[in-house]
Structure 1
Amino acid sequence: MKPVIAAFPATRLRRLRRSPAIRALVMQSVLAPQDFIWPVFVREGEGVVEPVVSMPGVNRLSVDKVVEAAREAYALGIPAMCLFPYTEPAKRSECCSEAWNPDNLSNRATRAIKDAVPELAVMTDVALDPYSSTGHDGFVREGEIVNDETVEALVKQALSQARAGADIIGPSDMMDGRIGAIRSELEREGFHNVLLLSYAAKYASAFYGPFRDAVGASGALKGDKFTYQMQPGNSDEAMRLIERDLAEGADMIMVKPGMPYLDICRRAKDMFGAPTFAYQVSGEYAMIAGAVERGWLDGDKVMLESLTAFKRAGCDGVLSYFAPAAARLLNG
């Protein structure tokens, strides 16, 4: 589309910015609480609110406190929460069997939330890194992160989450073929309405550090994730991955990280038109929150500006640790 603009002074573009009322009328990208998925870290215990040092204002919560957070989210108009477990070292292993334990932290938290706030959508994470003694998203065999054996485990993990009541399952592992395998088993088991929000374009990013602290994976990680996560310089590859995941049965797609990859969000939305999400990851959050703590930035304004960028780039929604604070501001 090429806009038609009369010559000055017939056209004065500042007319459209002259007052709050006029600016509201022509606003193109509008942010609302229903645009958010709130990522929350879960840990063992009762009555636990444990700060994540590298993420100011973010806490690990015991299941009872996660339920309180779910009630808060629903009251604020946030439609979904995403659960990430902090797994104790004693429950991590090479076989990662805790990932599909029906009574693991993620599944217990899912059931508790659905019992307390059934209207709130629960999203869960499919990957082995919270349960692995190596810190990797898949099984490590002789130094290689193996694909097909990992996919078999991811299917078991996804089914355990569906049985616990998860509404949205988010495979974040970046193994080839896992969307098709998970979708097939969900259909076979009768979970026809469980959504797959695929982390289709997940980059091997340096912005994930605080998250790994939060789930206890930093010390466990051996090596890097470059053989299964994407190179930051690649864009065409992201489109190939997104197309594949949609063809295999993904209902929605994710770009991760968020702000450094807004071009990927825009390109994906324009090319495929599928529901498109981005994850404003822990490092993005920590940069803003850390600068706000030091008085270098206006926290409320920068938070909302950063979140609006995702809507402008074509995203239907965003996973953000800012979700409750942003929703409170947007609700007035």
Structure 2
Amino acid sequence: MSLDTAATAPHERMQSALADDLAAVNALIRDRMASKHAPRIPEVTAHLVDAGGKRVRPMLTLAAARMCGYEGSAHQKLAATVEFIHTATLLHDDVVDESHKRRGRPTANLLWDNKSSVLVGDYLFARSFQLMVETGNLRVLNILSNAAAVIAEGEVLQLTAAMNLATTEDIYLQVIRGKTAALFEAACEVGGVIADQPEGVVRGLAAYGDALGIAFQMVDDLLDWGGSDGVLGKNTGDDFRERKLTLPVIRAVARADAAERAFWVRTIEKGDQREGDLEQAMALLLAHGTLEETRIEALDWAARAKVALDPAPQHPLRDMMADLADYVVARLT
């Protein structure tokens, strides 16, 4: 999901407040994505890094650390670590999903090949571990390495859950915690750890990241169906075509009568999709109210994220982080 640009957007205010840190992180990323012997590595990495991402995850690491009074530079290495992990997962995801576009540009696997995307992603994972070790903090190494494992686990779980109508809401939540929320959580948590904050603050930052990541992904899943109003456009319905079970579909399947279930078996489990099926799927989601329910769930997770910040020190960056939680769900209201 991309964040809309606006003069008052919280992520833009954070970019301004953290401008020096972000410049240092960007310089570090460029330095560490270099390779003496394999020029394709910086070529592939630069294609994705320069594609206009908002750097939300590394920015949360910087914001959490600065909010907690940290004055060193290790948080910059942690922010670069977070961005490398994120970029590596995107390279791998595009291969797994056979994607052709990312952030409006051709994917690396399309411009080069699958082998290059996978191997460059592996290189970035290795670089991320080098960076986190350089901080000399064993706890942040544990947090970020665990997040990398959870992300991979979530992607594998999504593979087994896709096209399977037995997928439950618990499994869905586990998938989105892995594929999205785990890195948000770790990004925030290590900011508090490197600033040597009390355990209550660190746990609050982790809970904020987890809830923000879940809200973020639920919004993404809902907008793929045109939002809670179910207004189809040219970019909607990809999850249906790819036979992914997101929350609106899982709930509609759980409430389906025999005829409706036969429709879901044909289109999702068997992949036999025909003209008008997307519109029929949309009608079922609207009839069962699952799009509106997903909207309410996303808003609830955003509210949880804001509450989780309560133990954190009073700071303008804390206000921006709270505003960011509202902002990621703003298009649903």
Whichever structure has more strand as a proportion of its residues is 1
Whichever structure has more helix as a proportion of its residues is 2
